[in-house]
Structure formats: structure tokens, C-alpha cells
Structure 1
Amino acid sequence: MRIHATVAAVSGALALSALAVPAAHADDSVGDTKISNVVVNGGKSVVAGPTAAKKVTVTFTVTDNSGADWAQAILYHGPSVEKSDTGAIADSSDGEAKCTKVNATKSTCTSAFTLEPAYNLTNASAGTWKVWAVAVAKDDNFVQKDNVKSFKVQRAAKLTVNASPEPVKKGRTITVTGKLSRANWETGKYAGYTGQSVKLQFRKKSSSTYTTVKTVKTNSTGNLKTTVKASADGYYRFAFAGTSTTPAANAAGDYVDVR
């Protein structure tokens, strides 16, 4: 069957990291088969640390008047599946999704994938990924989509803070330092995230809410340093809003006793 050959070509290309598949593998369909309700990683961004493999689950619905026969999803990074630079095929032995019949015309399908630093995760691949998918019905109708869902794959971030001296007299200068780092998927370590805007925030001892004091930029090694005047007992922290390639991060508050 032609659609099986297409999937085999795409899967094989991904497995070999060649990702050079014919343009015929773009959107295509015959009949009334549809793919809908695609959810990647429970609707959350995929955040991976520097070394540990990340398991990602994709679920979707297949509908056709004759019922679903089989389906498959593939994850990839790039403008299209033909021009992908990396990706992942499902962990199942045949690469196909596990489809459970809901009724005569609808099935719910699930695939599990593994994303692993230094294998199919490179620093350049952080950001938007896409889901290529195909579904074939019992009457041989099918639908094939180059991008049924986009999602984020991000490099895990860490943020630290230290406010000193402790204790300090009211009105004196407090120096606040810290570091913003993120996973380097190629070295297997965390590395400083340079040139990023980070907010210094303060929470009074009697309050549960942080307010922004000022914004500071990380230096060439991801380090942060600024000063404030001691005004009241409370907690200082740095807060990073995140980028398309790196999630938001907040440092644990550092308490300063003002006397």
C-alpha cells in the first residue's frame, strides 16, 4: 500500500537522521478520514535537562465512517518533515500508535517518544517542534498531515540568588548576586545564559506577594549582580520570564534580616 511505503520512508529517514524525504510526503488525503484533538505532553512544553532522556506522549483522535485501521505520529524539528534536522519516531516496535476504539467511527490513538540530549536533542533544535501524522481507515481512506500540532521543546533552566550582608542595618546597601543557567544538550552540563533580562523581586516578611524592584541583565557567563537599599525584613529573588527555547525560572527567595 502506498501510504505504508510513505511512512516507512519518513520513519527510515528520521532513524538515520538523514531526513531527506520526497515532497510527496506533504499533506495528502483520500476520503473522509480525519485526525483531531492532538495533545503533546499533556499540553505542556517539553523541558529537558542536560543528560536525562525525556519521555513524551502524544494522543489524537482518528475518525472515519468505516473506522480506523492504523495510525502513526512522528515528531520533528524544522520547517517541514522533508527539511527536518532532527526528530523522533515512536518507541513502539513498529512505530505505530496504539489505537483504542471508542465507537464504530472513532478511535483514540497514543504514541510514546523518547527525546534524548546528544542524540536527537541538539542546542539548535530547542524551540518549536511539530507532529507529522497519518491515519488509515478500514476502507483504505487516509489522511496525512505534515503538521497536525506544534509544541515547544526547551532547555531546562536554573536560577540562583544570594543577598548579603545578612543581617544588615536599615538604609545600608545590599548586594544581590545570582546566576541564570540552562541545559547544554551537547556537553551534558548546565551553562550560563548570556544577555538575558531578569527581574529582581522583593517580598516583605509579612507578605505573600513578590514585587519587582528592577531588571538586570546576565553577563557573558550568565551571572547577575546588583544592589538595593535595605528597607525591611524580607526575601529577595531573581525571576526569569523565559524565552522560546528556555522555560521561565524563579530563584528561591533569600531572606534578609534588616535591623
Structure 2
Amino acid sequence: MRTRATVAAVSGALALSALGVPAAQADDSAASYRAGVAKVREAAQAGSGRAAGKPYNLNVSFSDVKIAKTVKVGTTGHVATTVTYTLTHGADVDITARDFLTDPVLYRGSPTAPENRLYGNKPAKCTATSATTANCKGTIDVYPGGSERELRNADAGTWRVAAEATDYNGQDPDGEIFDITKTGYKSQAGLGTTLMQRASKLTVDAAPEPVKKGKPITVTGKLSRANWDRGTYNGYVEQPVKLQFRKNGSTTYTTVKTIKTNATGNLKTTVTAAQDGYFRFTFAGTTTTPAATPAGDFVDVR
């Protein structure tokens, strides 16, 4: 059973040491938090048994995981997606301790030897619902560009959800003496899935405008998607795209025809001018790329 000493307020690192908070957890940076957990995780996955210098099997389990069906990621910036789950733990596990951590993980491939993993910048926050259960909410933080470049084009598609918990029990993974056998760890994979998708863009332009009734209208556009390998948007080739029309005064679009993007992702087709209205392209999406529909382009028919 864990025990916690009550201490008077002290400043800086001394206060954190008195509270039994590992330095890796005192540092609020994502790098420090991730590095500490990674050290324990790697030791746990290398084998089992305290005698071999492994963390002990923490008495926790995870269930009722919820995550967005799709995560759309461009080429720059930061994308965060929320993951919620139920944490069930033994009476000997103090989830309120400052050095108890739990977090969601996304992975591709094998959970122990994944092709790629994604984590959150901070541990999940949990609210107890009984003496042995809690509702937890965390995030997965994705950085597709810059020095991180966490995704490659091959990563688009299905990712699986895991959750893990680490109980340092006062041990400091960054300290000179770190007894990992006193640290508890548990990971549970295969808890759910999401689609990691390369963000898409679709444009439309209908010309000429105005146009005489009965004359041809040329509608052009381009379908492109994020290229995580290069950090750019490139044409999505040979994809079916619908041309739709909405007459002026109506709220409903109807499909005129379906065409395919060319070798550079461009679209071009012609229709006959019949009445004032809006033309647009619409792309239904694929497993690796989300749907896209731009605002309609108005054509004045005279």
C-alpha cells in the first residue's frame, strides 16, 4: 500500500522532492514527461520480472475508449484529438498521487514493435467515479511539420488505440538512482481505432461569367492533399469527383456528372448554360483522405 507524508510548503525543487515527485514529472515539458514514461515502457516491453530490472505489473485496466472516427492532419501546425476512457484499478493503486500518470497512445502495427506511435504532450486527467474506477480524458498531439515531422505518407490509414499507466512510487527516472523495480507500469493495446488522414483541399471555378444561355460553361478545379513526406500539398490523381449544380434560390445541389482528376489532380469539364446558379465539385473521400467540398461558384446566365 502506498503511503504519503504531509509536509510544510517549501520552494522550488525542494518542495517537489519532499512531496516525492520525480524531477521528470516536475518538469512540465512534453519531452521530459514522454522521456520518463518511455524509459519505463521500454524496460517493461523488454521482458518481465523484477529481478531483471523491470517495472512491476501495475494493477490497472482500461475500457470504454472513445476517440474521433477520423483525425485530419495537414502539413504544418499542431493537431490534437481527444481520447476518453475508463480506468479500473486495485485498491493498492493511488491514482491521486502526483507521480501516478496515465495516457492514451496511438500506434500502427504491433503494439510492442510499432511502425509509429503518437502521444499527448501531457498525461490524461482522471476523475474518480468510485473507489476503484475513474473517467480519464487525454489528448494525442500531432506535429506533421517542422523538426518533429511525426508522420509520413505511409502512416495514413488505420491507427489503433492503447492506454498506459505509470506509477513511479517516488522513484525519479532522471535521478542518479532509479530503482525501476519499485515503479509500476501497465499497457493495454487494441482498445479502439481511428483513421489518420492526409488533409484535403478542393477548388472550383466556373467561367465565363456572365454567360449567354445555351453557351458552354467551363468548370475547373483541383483536388490536393497533404504530402507528409514533403510538407506540401500535392494533387490527388485519378480520383472521382462529382460536379454539382444548385439553381439560384434553391438550397439543394444535384449531381450533374462525375469526372476524375488528372495526373496532377486538376479537374476540367464543360456544361451548357441553362439558368443562374452555383457550381461546385465534391469529393467523397477515401480511407487515407477526408471528403472535401468547396463553396459553390455563381454563374450569371443571361
Is this a same-fold pair by TM over 0.5?
A: yes
Taking the aligned partners of 2:103 and 2:76, their CA distance within structure 1 comes to 28
Q: Is the 8 A contact 1:33 1:136 kept in 2?
A: no
Q: Secondary structure of the residue that 2:204 maps to in structure 1?
A: strand
1:57 counterpart (71, 79, 82): 82
2:197 corresponds to which letter in structure 1? Answer: Q
Match of 2:262 in 1: 219
TM-score, normalised with respect to structure 2: 0.69
Taking the aligned partners of 1:246 and 1:230, their CA distance within structure 2 comes to 33
Map 1:127-166 → 2, pairs under 5 A: 127-134=157-164, 144-166=187-209
Taking the aligned partners of 2:187 and 2:129, their CA distance within structure 1 comes to 21
**Farther off after superposition, 200-209 or 44-53:** 44-53
2:300 corresponds to which letter in structure 1? Answer: D
TM-score, normalised with respect to structure 1: 0.80
State the 1:252 CA deviation. 1.3
1:107 counterpart (134, 138, 154): 134
Q: Secondary structure of the residue that 2:154 maps to in structure 1?
A: helix
Match of 2:51 in 1: none
Match of 2:9 in 1: none
Match of 1:97 in 2: 124
State the 1:143 CA deviation. 6.6
Describe the shift of the 1:12–1:51 C-alpha distance in structure 2 as closer, same or farther (beyond 3 A): farther
Taking the aligned partners of 2:130 and 2:217, their CA distance within structure 1 comes to 65
More strand by share: 1
State the 1:36 CA deviation. 2.0
Q: Is the 8 A contact 2:109 2:115 kept in 1?
A: no
Taking the aligned partners of 2:120 and 2:88, their CA distance within structure 1 comes to 21
Taking the aligned partners of 2:131 and 2:185, their CA distance within structure 1 comes to 16
Describe the shift of the 1:238–1:103 C-alpha distance in structure 2 as closer, same or farther (beyond 3 A): same
Match of 2:16 in 1: none
CA RMSD, 1 decimal:
2.9
Taking the aligned partners of 1:23 and 1:257, their CA distance within structure 2 comes to 71
Taking the aligned partners of 1:152 and 1:136, their CA distance within structure 2 comes to 27
Matched, 1:174 2:217: yes
2:103 counterpart (56, 66, 72): 72
Taking the aligned partners of 2:201 and 2:86, their CA distance within structure 1 comes to 36
Map 1:27-42 → 2, pairs under 5 A: 34-40=61-67
Identity over aligned pairs, percent: 50
State the 1:65 CA deviation. 6.1
2:103 corresponds to which letter in structure 1? Answer: Q
Matched, 1:84 2:114: yes
State the 1:218 CA deviation. 0.3
Taking the aligned partners of 2:58 and 2:119, their CA distance within structure 1 comes to 26
Bigger CA radius of gyration: 2
Match of 1:3 in 2: none
Match of 2:24 in 1: none
Query: Which residues of structure 1 form unaligned runs of 5+?
Result: 1-6, 14-20, 25-29
Q: Secondary structure of the residue that 1:183 maps to in structure 2?
A: strand
Taking the aligned partners of 1:68 and 1:57, their CA distance within structure 2 comes to 24
State the 1:184 CA deviation. 1.2
1:57 corresponds to which letter in structure 2? Answer: T
